[in-house]
Structure 1
Amino acid sequence: MTFLSNSKTLSRLSLVSLLICAPFSSYADQWHLSFDNDVVIGQDGDYSNGFVFGWQALPESDFSSAPWPFSWQQALRFSSQSQTSQWGAKIYQRMWTPSEIEYDYAQPNDRPYAGLLELESFTGSYSASFAQKNWFSVGVIGPASGAQTMQELVHKITPSTPPKGWQYQVENQLTLQMAYEVDALAFRQDATDDSQWELSGHSHTMLGNFRSEANLGFTLRWGDDLADSFGQLSSHAGHYGQFSATARKSGSWTVYSRAQLGYRFNDLTIDGDVPYDSHVQMKHQQVRASTGVIWAFPTWSVSWSVEVYTSEYEPDPNSWHGYGVLSYSFVL
C-alpha cells in the first residue's frame, strides 16, 4: 500500500477524526488531554512518549441516546445490572525508540523505532461493584503515524538529544484493534469517617494485528465516594475515566495502585517489518504496575501516575521500564 507524506497523512487522519466527532459534539461533555513520557525515570527509549485528545459523554442510565457508532458497540458487552452507561472517542499517538536515539544507523539488537496513530471508540457500563468496558480502534503504524515529526519537534524545543534513526522505523501498516475489560469488587470498607479503601480484580483482553494479549490483575484504591467511581480506572492505554461526574463541590480524591500479569501474542512494535535484519524477539510474559493520584471537581480533574513494566523484548539489558502519565479533563 502506498502512503502519502507523513504530514499529509496525519492531517487527513485528524480531519477524519474531527468529522466523525462533529455530529456527537452535543454528547461530548468531558474533554481530556493526556501526556505520557519517560522523562520521569531519567531514561530515553523503549516506550518514549504518547499524546491523547479525547472526549466522553457524561454518564447516562442507558445507551438509548448514544450516537449510532456506540449503540452497536455496546452490544458487545455481557448483560449486567449497570447503573450508568458511558461512551466516547479519542485520538492517540504513541512512539517507541531504541535506548540510544543519537545513532544514525540501524540497531539490530535494540527495539526498532515505531510510531502509532489511532482513532478509538469506547463504551462502558458501571455499577458500584462491577464494570465492563470495550474499545474499537483503527490506526496506522509507521512513518504515516507522524511520530518522527512529533519527537523531532519536541526534542528541538526542549534540551533533549535529537533522534537520528527514524529512517529505520517499523514500516507503514494499517491496524485494527478490539479490547475488553471487566472489573469486579472484592470488598470495600471505611478507612476514616470520610474515606474508604477497596480491593478489586480485573481482566483486560486485547485482540488485533497491532497487539494481542490477555491480562489479570488487581486494584487497591483509597479515597472518598469510591462506589461512585468504581471501574473508571483502566489498564487500557490512553483511557481516562469520568471522575468529575460524581465529584464533590469541595473536591474528591483517590490514591491507587494497580498491578497485572499477562501473556502477549503479537506486537508490531517488536516484530513489524523494518528495513534491516532485526535480531530482537518479543517476550511473551508481561508484568505491569502503576500508582497514582486523582483530584477531581465537578468541572475538571487532574491525574498523575507512574507506570512500570517488565522488558518487552530480548535482548533487553534492562529488566524493567517506566514512564509518567499526566491527564487533565474539563467539562463543557
Structure 2
Amino acid sequence: MLGTVGPDSYAEDAQSIVHDIVGSPEPKGWDYQISNEFVYQVGLEAHQLLMRAPIGEFSVFGRGQGGNFQSEVAVGGTYRIGFDLENTFGSTSVLPGNAVDIGLLSHSDSGMFFFATIEARYRFDDITIEGDKPAENDDIHVQHGQAAISSGVSWYSQHWGAVASVTAQSKQFEESGRDHSAYANFTLFYRY
C-alpha cells in the first residue's frame, strides 16, 4: 500500500460529502487529525486448511504487515459451512467492511457460506494513533495486544452477490474508554 494520511488524504472532504448525501450532521474532530505523512505498507498472509467435510471446513492463518502505517503480526482460525467452499478458500478476514474478499470468489460461479473468524494480533505501531498530531491533542498509545472476531454469511451467483457480517475488536489504544468496538456491514456486489 502506498498513500497519505492527514489533510492531503482529503478524508475530511470525502466524509463531508457522504454526510451531505445521507443527511448526517457536519463531521467534527478534523482539527485534531494527524499531520500529512506519506505511508507505505507491505503484508503477507498464509492460510492452511486443517479439515474439510462435505459442507464445512476449518482453517488457520497467519499474517504480518510492516511499514510506517500499521505494523503487526497475527494468527487466527476460520470455520465455514456452505457450498463450493473448495473454490473460495481463504476468502474471509476480520477486517471491518471487508469480512469477505470478493476477489477470492472468482473461481466459483455460485455459492453460499456462513463463517466465523477469530484473530489475535500484536500491533507494534499505528500511525493513526501515534502519528504526529497538533500539540493540543492528548497523547495516546497503541494497545499492542489485540483481538478480533467476525461472523456472517456470503451468497453469490455468477454476477450478483451479497455479504452480511458483524465484526468486534478489542480496543486499539490504551486510553480508550471502551474495551471493544463492533461494526455491522452489508455489501451488495456485481461481478462481470
How far, CA to CA, are the matches of 1:243 and 1:169 in structure 2?
A: 36
Match of 1:309 in 2: 169
Q: Is the 8 A contact 2:87 2:107 kept in 1?
A: no
Q: Is the 8 A contact 2:154 2:164 kept in 1?
A: yes
Instruction: After superposition, give the CA deviation of every residue in 1:13-52 in whole Å (9 maximum; x if it has no partner).
Output: xxxxxxxxxxxxxxxxxxxxxxxxxxxxxxxxxxxxxxxx
Match of 1:14 in 2: none
Q: Which runs of 5+ in 1 are unaligned?
A: 1-136, 191-195
Shift of 1:157: 2.9
- Counterpart of 2:103 in 1: which secondary structure? coil
**TM-score calculated relative to the size of structure 2:** 0.90
Shift of 1:318: 0.5
Q: Which runs of 5+ in 2 are unaligned?
A: none
Match of 2:62 in 1: 203
Q: Is the 8 A contact 1:259 1:288 kept in 2?
A: yes
How far, CA to CA, are the matches of 1:284 and 1:315 in structure 2?
A: 12
Larger-gyration structure (1/2): 1
How far, CA to CA, are the matches of 2:28 and 2:79 in structure 1?
A: 42
Moved more, 287-296 or 144-153: 144-153
Moved more, 300-309 or 174-183: 300-309
Corresponding letter in the other structure for 2:104: Q
Instruction: After superposition, give the CA deviation of every residue in 1:282-302 in whole Å (9 maximum; x if it has no partner).
Output: 110010110111111112322
Q: Is the 8 A contact 1:244 1:296 kept in 2?
A: no
Instruction: After superposition, give the CA deviation of every residue in 1:192-232 in whole Å (9 maximum; x if it has no partner).
Output: xxxx0111101111111001000000001000121111112
Match of 1:292 in 2: 152
- Counterpart of 2:138 in 1: which secondary structure? coil
**TM-score calculated relative to the size of structure 1:** 0.54
Match of 1:243 in 2: 105
How far, CA to CA, are the matches of 1:219 and 1:159 in structure 2?
A: 38
Shift of 1:328: 3.4
- Identity among equivalent positions (%) equals 31
- Counterpart of 2:104 in 1: which secondary structure? coil
2:113 to 251, 254, 262: 254
- Counterpart of 1:215 in 2: which secondary structure? strand
Paired positions, count: 188
